[in-house]
């Protein structure tokens, strides 16, 4: 079966752990299409994949209510973090919450790199700016909207010595950090829920509905829970399993 | 006129290109044998006349008739162009090509290629790439390639225009041998000396028109028109 | 410079240890691009030759169109092929999306105009050169085409190699229609894009060096097979 997942999920390295286990337990060969949330939902809508695993609740709810997926099953969450130059010119280390951190960046007019690719991370970032009562469209040239994936955006941020919003997993697995360090995290507003959405067979009769259902059950189950909660990079837990039985 | 066996005949032949008359209208009868030299200054229409006679230049009006049926015309005729067209192959492959087109047996091809390579002095150059030969070698090769099919009629368009004296002499020897062996030769040139050395009869063209035609002794000694008189006297005629 | 050395080192270890993933990805790259090359050549060589020696009404327009297609960004080709092969597209029932076949289709579309255009130019030049001789020798149409293709074979080989180079180095289109699925549609270029996005420049560069080595090897092999190096003494 084919599963569209977000770059942030794949870059975390978790898929390399889960796929062999799925194969061993279910005898299911899952082919991953690693794309942004926006494109993942498009692939699902066209019936080109059998299920999607993404993280953007608003878009997912719209997807379900339009009938493209039969339902939405929350699986786990991780969190977003603010990355920036170690010198931290905007002093966001001292911010009390993420809104303040973003305001400090806007006030200091320091370079900020945005995914700009309509991905889940991108949508979260825009939601956070809005929550801080700021409009990225009005920003001076210091705000760079790229239209690229997480890895490419991190590479760009490293090159520009800029601030960027990234998911923790992608950040920890990223190999080209240069002068960038993690500057701010922990605000509940930064939590990032991943959900599994099987494509509705009444829309696309050819989808592998049974395989998707088996995978969903497995992801929500105890084996997946243990694997996900125990997955660590540099001693840090990345994901917290929160699927309801 | 002397009684001539039926040869090539042009009747009111006219060649026009983009409204401009290149040749004719022209009436011309050529005997079935002989070494005809087509003379005239540049732009007189010599090349066009040869191509019309060979059947590779379309007439705008009039007609050309051969003593044989048309499909056989170009199989029994050969043409040597002013600047040698070399196939981008070896000397051997260039000589073999006309025979290969006819589907001749390998042994016959090999034997004829060796024979002709010897006659043009290229027997040691069979594996060289033809486009890398000298100008003289190239023209000898195209001549051999034309004669290897033993054509009834051979057309040559100023074959010695870019050659030195020695190569010219070699070419002329080859041509005389071919003529002695019965090949009908029709050759354009603007070299009067060459014309006097080779011609049995002469066609003189000027501005696309037939000015004068006749057997060599008559035309060289008593040109029929003021223009041909001037031309054969070595003056510049336009 | 450090990154480049690390890349060379990574490439070295990938190759000497005969990394199985690398082997699989490399073979798939070759399989996809060589298949695309064969199909594209079968279309483009006769097409280019035909355009060079036949006069017909829309010839100029066809040639202009061909040259325009040559400049088509691969991503656009990828997007169009994706839309055609998508389950919601006109050819969706074939189920070809995210398979090597889809990647071959995209590459054929990308390189056919390139090969046809170079073929057309080479044959046209040769035809202008040979025209009078071939007409004079009363060649049949088939004999003419065979002579032109045979004598232009070195240029045509170069055209094909240019097509192969473009195919195997292409990433935009095959990323879209292939999906870069591990063990299914991942090839060298998409693997490089993936490693770059992970910030693993050494591995990405290592794969890049493997790609260059592969392209060189294929070039040498084809040249050796056709013995052009020995023949082309002029």
Cβ-based contacts of C130 with chain B (< 8 Å): 85, 87
Tell me the torsion sign for CA atoms A204, A209, A215, A216. Answer: positive
Q: What are the structure tokens assigned to B155, written together? A: 């057309």
- Tokens 């040249």 belong to C223
pTM of the predicted model as reported, rounded to 2 decimal places: 0.78
Cα-Cα end-to-end distance for chain B? 29
Does C143 lie at the interface with B, CB-CB under 8 angstroms? yes
- C135 contacts chain B (CB < 8 A): yes
With beta carbons under 8 A apart, name residues in chain B contacting C126.
88
C130 touches chain B (CB under 8 A): yes
Among C132, C138, C151, the residue with its CB nearest the CB of B87 is C151
- From the list B88, B89, B101, which residue is nearest C139 (CB)? B101
pLDDT tens by residue, A161-175: 999 999 888 888 888
d(CA C70, nearest CA chain A) in Å: 26
pLDDT at A67: 92
Closest CA to C11 of C161, C195, C197, C198: C195
d(C-alpha B94, C-alpha B116), whole Å: 11
| C82-141 residues touching A, CB cutoff 8 A | 86-89, 92, 95, 97-98
Instruction: Please state at what angle helix A14-26 crosses helix A222-230, rounded to 10 degrees.
Output: 160
**Which residues in chain C have Cβ-Cβ distances shorter than 8 Å to A2?**
98, 179, 181
One digit per residue, the tens of pLDDT, for chain C of length 234 reads: 677 787 788 778 877 887 888 889 999 999 999 999 999 999 999 899 988 988 888 888 888 888 888 888 999 999 999 999 988 888 888 889 889 999 999 999 999 999 999 999 999 999 999 999 999 998 888 899 889 999 998 888 888 888 998 999 999 899 989 888 888 889 999 999 888 877 777 788 888 888 998 888 888 887 777 665 444 443
Cis omega before residue A72 (within 30°)? no
Q: Which of B54, B89, B132 sits opposite C151 (nearest CB)?
A: B89
Give SS3 for C78. Answer: helix
Tell me the nearest-neighbour CA distance from C181 into chain A, angstroms: 6
- The reply to whether A47 touches chain C by the CB within 8 Å rule is yes
Q: How far is CA B195 from its chain centroid?
A: 13
Q: Which domains does chain C have, with CATH numbers?
A: 2-225 (1.10.3720.10)
Check CB contact of C234 with chain B, cutoff 8 Å: yes
Q: Decide yes or no: CATH 3.40.190.10 for domain A79-189.
A: yes
Is A79-189 the same fold as A2-77+192-241?
yes
Quick one: closest CA in C to B148, which residue?
C137
Q: What is the model's pLDDT at position C229? A: 45
Residue A183 pLDDT: 94
Contacts of residue B183, Cβ cutoff 8 Å, sequence gap at least 6: B147, B150, B151, B152, B153, B154
CB B88 to CB C126 under 8 A?
yes
Residues of C in contact with B56 (CB under 8 A): 132, 135-136
Neighbours of B4 (CB within 10 A): 13
Distance CA A168, CA A182 (A): 9
Per-window interface: C 146-165 vs A, CB < 8 A? none
Q: Could you state, in order of their start, the residue ranges of all structural domains in chain A?
A: 2-77+192-241, 79-189
Closest residue in A to C99 (Cα) is A31
Contact C135 B56 (CB under 8 A): yes
Contact assignment for C196 to A151 by CB distance below 8 Å: yes
The C-alpha of A40 sits at a distance from chain C's nearest C-alpha, in angstroms, of 11
Contacts of C92 in chain A (CB under 8 A): 47
CATH class of A2-77+192-241: alpha beta
d(CA A10, CA B128): 62
In this prediction, residue B14 carries a pLDDT of 87
Note whether C67 and C48 are within 8 A (CB): no
In this complex, which chains have at least 3 CB pairs below 8 Å with chain C? A, B
Q: Which of residues 166-195 of C touch A (CB under 8 A)?
A: 179-182, 184, 194
B201 — alpha (psi -120 to 50), left (phi > 0) or beta? Answer: beta
User: Which mean pLDDT values do the consecutive 10-residue runs of chain A (245 residues) have?
Assistant: 88 88 92 88 92 91 93 92 94 93 93 87 91 88 87 89 91 87 92 93 90 94 92 87 84
Spatial CB neighbours of C29, under 8 Å, sequence gap ≥ 6: C168, C187, C188, C189, C211, C214
Sheet holding B8-17, edge to edge: B20-30, B8-17, B61-65
Cβ–Cβ of C201/A175 closer than 8 Å? Answer: yes
Domain ranges of chain B: 8-85+152-232
Q: Tell if the CB–CB gap between A47 and C86 is shorter than 8 Å.
A: yes
CATH topology of domain B8-85+152-232: Rossmann fold (3.40.50)
Distance from CA of A111 to the nearest CA of C (A): 20
Residue C233 sits at the chain A interface (C-beta within 8 Å) = no
- Residue A242 near residue A77, CB atoms below 8 Å: yes
Q: Which residues of chain B have pLDDT under 70?
A: 1-6, 70-71, 238
Closest-CA distance, B233 to chain C, in angstroms, reads: 34
* SS3 (DSSP) at A75: strand
Cβ <8 Å between C98 and A2: yes
Pick from A47, A176, A204: which is nearest to C199 by CB? A176
């Amino acid at each position: 079966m084919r599963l569209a997942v977000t770059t942030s999920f794949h870059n975390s390295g978790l898929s390399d752990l889960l796929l062999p286990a799925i194969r061993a337990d279910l005898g299911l060969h899952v082919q991953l299409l690693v794309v942004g949330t926006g494109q993942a939902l498009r692939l699902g809508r066209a019936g080109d994949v059998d299920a999607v695993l993404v993280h953007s609740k608003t878009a997912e709810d719209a997807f379900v209510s339009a009938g493209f997926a039969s339902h939405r099953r929350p699986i786990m969450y991780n969190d977003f973090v603010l990355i920036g130059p170690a010198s931290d010119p905007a002093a966001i280390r001292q911010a009390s919450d993420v809104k303040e951190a973003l305001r400090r960046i806007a006030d200091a007019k320091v370079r900020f790199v945005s995914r700009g690719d309509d991905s889940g991370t991108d949508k979260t970032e825009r939601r956070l700016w809005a929550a801080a009562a700021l409009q990225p469209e009005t920003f001076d040239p210091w705000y760079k909207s790229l239209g690229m994936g997480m890895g490419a955006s991190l590479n760009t941020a490293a090159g520009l010595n800029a601030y960027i919003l990234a998911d923790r997993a992608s950040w920890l697995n990223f190999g080209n950090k240069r002068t960038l360090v993690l500057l701010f995290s922990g605000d509940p507003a930064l939590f990032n829920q991943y959900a599994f959405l099987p494509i509705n067979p009444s829309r696309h009769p050819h989808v592998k509905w049974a395989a998707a259902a088996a995978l969903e059950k497995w992801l929500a189950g105890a084996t997946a829970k243990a694997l996900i909660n125990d997955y660590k990079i540099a001693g840090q837990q990345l994901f917290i399993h929160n699927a309801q039985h | 006129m002397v009684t001539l066996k039926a040869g090539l005949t042009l009747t009111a032949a006219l060649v026009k290109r983009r409204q401009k008359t290149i040749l004719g209208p022209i009436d011309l009868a050529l005997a079935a044998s002989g070494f005809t030299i087509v003379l005239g200054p540049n732009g007189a229409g010599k090349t066009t006349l040869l191509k019309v006679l060979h059947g590779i230049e379309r007439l705008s009006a009039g007609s050309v008739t051969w003593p044989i049926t048309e499909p056989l015309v170009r199989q029994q005729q050969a043409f040597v162009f002013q600047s040698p067209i070399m196939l981008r192959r070896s000397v051997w492959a260039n000589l073999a090509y006309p025979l290969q087109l006819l589907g001749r047996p390998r042994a016959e091809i090999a034997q004829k290629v060796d024979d002709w390579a010897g006659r043009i002095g290229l027997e040691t150059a069979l594996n060289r790439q033809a486009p890398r030969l000298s100008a003289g070698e190239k023209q000898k090769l195209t001549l051999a390639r034309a004669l290897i099919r033993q054509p009834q009629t051979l057309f040559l368009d100023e074959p010695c225009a870019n050659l030195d004296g020695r190569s010219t002499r070699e070419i002329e020897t080859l041509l005389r041998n071919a003529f002695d062996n019965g090949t009908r030769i029709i050759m354009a040139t603007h070299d009067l000396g060459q014309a006097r050395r080779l011609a049995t009869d002469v066609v003189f063209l000027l501005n696309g028109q037939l000015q004068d035609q006749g057997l060599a002794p008559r035309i060289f000694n008593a040109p029929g028109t003021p223009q041909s008189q001037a031309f054969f006297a070595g003056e510049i005629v336009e | 410079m450090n990154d480049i050395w690390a890349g060379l080192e990574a490439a070295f270890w990938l190759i000497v240890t005969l990394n199985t993933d690398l082997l699989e990805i490399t073979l798939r790259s070759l399989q996809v691009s060589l298949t695309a090359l064969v199909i594209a050549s079968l279309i483009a060589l006769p097409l280019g030759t035909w355009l060079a020696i036949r006069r017909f009404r829309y010839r100029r327009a066809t040639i202009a169109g061909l040259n325009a297609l040559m400049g088509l960004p691969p991503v656009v080709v990828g997007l169009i092929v994706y839309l055609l092969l998508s389950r919601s597209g006109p050819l969706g029932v074939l189920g070809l999306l995210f398979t090597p076949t889809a990647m071959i289709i995209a590459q054929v579309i990308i390189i056919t105009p390139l090969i046809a255009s170079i073929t057309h130019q080479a044959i046209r030049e040769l035809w202008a050169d040979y025209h009078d001789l071939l007409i004079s020798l009363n060649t049949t149409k088939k004999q003419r085409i065979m002579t032109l293709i045979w004598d232009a074979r070195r240029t045509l080989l170069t055209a094909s190699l240019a097509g192969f180079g473009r195919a195997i180095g292409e990433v935009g289109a095959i990323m879209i229609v292939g999906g870069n699925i591990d063990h299914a549609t991942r090839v060298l270029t998409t693997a490089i894009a993936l490693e770059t996005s992970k910030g693993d420049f050494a591995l990405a560069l290592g794969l890049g060096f493997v790609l260059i080595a592969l392209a060189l090897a294929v070039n040498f092999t084809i040249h050796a097979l056709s013995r052009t190096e020995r023949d082309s003494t002029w």
